Structure 1
Amino acid sequence: MALMRLLVVVAVAAAVAASCRPALADPAVSALPGLPVAGLAVGFYNESCPQVEDLVLAEMRAFVEKDRTLGPAMLRFMFHDCLARGCDASLMLKSRSHKGEQDAASSYGLRGYDEIEQIKAKVEAACPLTVSCADIIALAARDAVYLSNGPRYAVETGRRDGKVSAKFDAENDLPPPSSNIVDLKTYFSVKGLGWKDLVVLSGSHTIGSAQCSTFASDRLYNFSGKGVQDQSLDKAYAASLREACEPGLDNDTTSLPMDPTSPYDFDLSYYRHVRGNTGLLLSDQALMDDRWTREYVERMAAAASPDEFFADFAVAMTNMGRLEVLTGGSGEIRETCAAYVD
């Protein structure tokens, strides 16, 4: 399975690499609404659990009022669930042999497990064995955006929970923060997502933070393994990062905002930072290395209103929320999300 996945990634990488050459850039946009998925619908629980969205929002509001860093954390949680094995709450499953998604290096520092379980308990009390953990993750991510002054877009529900969680899925399917534009487009293409999904969903980095260990080596101290700073990084910004991140410390847990201008507001500042060569992650700045993603970054950076970004984000999140979902008689509805797989 892992070998087959690797072959697919290699094949797609070749195609994406060709599309990134200026003369052959592919203008296709897949952040248009994708094809509907049978079993998913806005208002899926209107009859069986009509209060579910209010319950999730109330819990999320309480979490964020107590700790505003939980908003970005819950949004990140959905990305990690959906990009590895699809939006099926497999990230919530535990492995005694340490072979589950939670055990992957890409899952390091993830927060939200306890919060999803708390929301699930509230929903179970109102509607027993009705609402999936996968849908709760999607609704919580939407409300994390809304509570950060972003859009409260419609969320399709009807997902069911998976019974399998594999470490290699998370390791193979989630793009690392050191990814270049070819890598990024490859990872997204494998999932059926395009360049616009990539550049729009990257905009979620307008809220939240990243630990020094995820970017300091690539950006500050050992770019491309040459022992130097990434020359594309704004020098004044780099100097401030060097003050916070210790060189040679691989497990540096110091956290810095990905959007230092407004780290808790879902706005356009992220794109302004990327345009100004002050994107925190290498994968952020990589958006300037492709014609189509660069044009979007520049348009959002210059925009007077976030309306276009908000509308695009709703579409891109819907597209991601349809990845490899289980519906109908597939999967299950668990009473608790954090079951053991072995």
Structure 2
Amino acid sequence: MITSKSARYENQMKEMESSFILLGFSDLSAVHQGSLSVMFLCIYLMTLIGNALIILLVTIDPLLQTTMYLFLRNLSVVEILYSSVSLPKLLDIFFSGDKHISFLGCAVQSYFFYTFGRTECILLALMAYDRYVAICIPLRYNVIMTRNLCAHLSTIALIGASLESVGQIACIFSLSYCGINIINHFFCDFLSVLGLACTDTFWNQVFIWTCITLFAIVPLILILTSYIRILSSILRIPSKTGRIKALSTCSSHMTSVILFFGSGIITYLRPKSSLWPERDKFLGLIYTVMTPMVNPLIYSLRNQEVKTAFRKLKNRHCL
């Protein structure tokens, strides 16, 4: 009997050592967790519906077949996949109370999370370049920004991000982990996982931050460079109406960039403080949960062509 209990205990310990525990928002009261679960479920459904609607409108409306909207459609696809990596598990934690995630499950979640996150960084940079060509060299826009170029660049972005994530995940999950692996986050954040390793992680961190520089910081620099040139061109437009019109074509994209990169920079590039561990989780909600939901609203509410396409679709459905 004692042997049987000992064997069960050993099996439980092995299972715990081969898995991670996502704390999520377990420090909150049951009432607050219940409210959050309903809110996140509504956010997830809004994310799926909003981005699916953008994909549908761009696909069926001939007026939205320019590269700007094709990039937007690709971004919406990525947003659906990006939010689907972390939100279902978070909802499962709320509804079932099961905080465990297997070692392999954590690696797979991290892989897809950072693949789609890096892809979004590159797509936002490509969309900034598209606006740069449209405003700074408009006479060559149709020659430079073709449908084929949009498809090729988007594919390269996904493949590049995928390969980078393979290296990053191999770098993290090849390490030795011991004891009860508790992650104080709602998804398998690579820095949180790396902090649980039993071995020295200096070179692993060097590799990871190199990847971040190439696939997040460089796209941000390209975005800022594009907008510096765009603003310079806009300021040279003689009429105030022309300047406002040119700037309005960039406002939605600039809002998305600020939300996505702003929250990411505050999360990963600021000095870490052990005094407010919950702050990282709430900042993480902005770029993992809120941005995928609000992007369709940003691009639909502030874009006349998208609103026109939606009205046409609604009228066609009513008829």
Common fold: TM-score over 0.5: no
TM-score range relative to shorter protein: under 0.3
Q: Larger Rg: 1 or 2?
A: 2
TM-score, length-scaled by structure 2: 0.27
TM-score, length-scaled by structure 1: 0.26
The structure richer in helix per residue is 2
